[in-house]
Amino acid sequence: MKTMRTALLVLALILAGKTLETRAETPLQFKDVFVGGQDGYPAYRIPSLIITQKGTLLAFAEARANKGDHARNKIVLKRSLDKGATWRQLQLICDAGSGCLNNPEVVVEKASGRIILMFQKYPESFDESSVVAGLEGDRICRTLVTHSDDDGLTWSAADEITASVKPPVGATSNASGPGIGIQLASGSCKGRLVFPFNQGPPGHWKVYAVYSDDRGATWKYGEVAPEDSNSGANEVQMVELTDGTVMLNARNQMGSHQRRIALSKDGGQTWSRLSDEPTLIEPRCQGSILRHPVNHRRADDVLLFSNPVSVSARTNGIIRLSKDDGKTWAASRTITEGEFAYSCLVSLDHQNVGCLFERDNYDKISFTRFSLKWILAKAAANAK
């Protein structure tokens, strides 16, 4: 009798295991944060997302008069106090009137908790193809910075820092990110704030870093990343590797449909030559890269990367995970097979990640969250 009971128990466990293995997985839930036609604006684009030291999520975007890149854009914000489950009312951060504001990029300075936001200002009727080089006059692209010391509730007046982030000769347009900046955690440049930038003119795009060694009081710009030929490395994000090296990951605007990569050993002042990353396929679109802490051991951190994985359309949004500083991408999962354009990743806690992304023909900027376990599940299943 005892033997029979044991056998029945084993059989029950086996059957339970099979049930668990075959149970349908709950699909990711999308929470719409910015929706065209709501909150007073016809369109929203260009997501930027950060978590404050108090655990508040800050989602930034361009509020536009239409879906065009230069449509009297304003910089707006929504805050979430519950890791993205609900979002507070829209806040207007900066308004340039008949001008246009573009490319929100944000970082949290760890020592003070200050939230620093950069973006560009274009004069009315001008865009990245028509602004001119130089630091003065009414036909140039300017860079502005603002900050918040109260968890994003209020913001300082925007200061212009164009001369600190733009070469006086050659560069026409500038663009911060869009997405996030980073603060270096190790090496001789520990504590440095680094903002990824690109510069025009269109057809001759270059990428580089803007940085501050005094917690954002002053800014400098480094050298552009060299390349063998002009492949048009464009919208760019950066991430710190385990040994303190900074890696840039850029949109490939004019070359192959592969992301462009370069490394800096001096905190973004100089770069190795740009190269293609064959694993990271793209349709020419912004992407997001993030160093995610798995626990309190820096060596256990992983890199995460999101973008539309296609050579022809901004669809098939994928999240990838690397355990070796981006040398290989061991796991990936599909966020959505549908439309997926610009995105921004954020670490919610050691095991969970959030993603703010554009979808539905740019009508919505939505938020979703998932766990590292969810990302790794498919790779684990394939390994069996």
Residue 15: the pLDDT is 37
Report the number of distinct structural domains present in the chain: 1
Compute φ and ψ for 63, nearest 5 degrees: -90, 120
Q: Specify the CATH number for the domain of residue 372.
A: 2.120.10.10
Residue 384: the pLDDT is 56
Bridge partners of 276, per DSSP, are: 260
- Indicate whether 26 belongs to any domain: no
Enumerate residue ranges in the chain where pLDDT < 50.
1-22
Global pTM reads: 0.92
Residue 296: the pLDDT is 87
Pair 340, 327: CB distance under 8 Å:
no
Residue 268: the pLDDT is 98
Tokens of 148: 């918040």
Cis before residue 308, ω within 30 degrees of 0?
Answer: no
- Indicate whether 7 belongs to any domain: no
Tokens of 163: 């001369």
C-alpha R_g of the chain: 22
- Indicate whether 195 belongs to any domain: yes
Q: What digits encode the pLDDT tens for the residues 256-303?
A: 899 999 999 999 999 999 999 999 999 999 999 999 999 988 899 999
Residue in 268, 271, 274, 265 with CA at minimum distance from that of residue 221: 268
- Indicate whether 24 belongs to any domain: no
Residue 150: the pLDDT is 98
- What is the rounded distance in angstroms from the CA atom of residue 156 to the CA atom of residue 154? 7
Q: What digits encode the pLDDT tens for the residues 130-167?
A: 999 999 999 999 999 999 999 999 999 999 999 999 99
- Indicate whether 88 belongs to any domain: yes
- Indicate whether 169 belongs to any domain: yes
Supply the range of the domain harboring residue 77: 31-383
Residue 312: the pLDDT is 96
Residue 14: the pLDDT is 35
- Indicate whether 129 belongs to any domain: yes
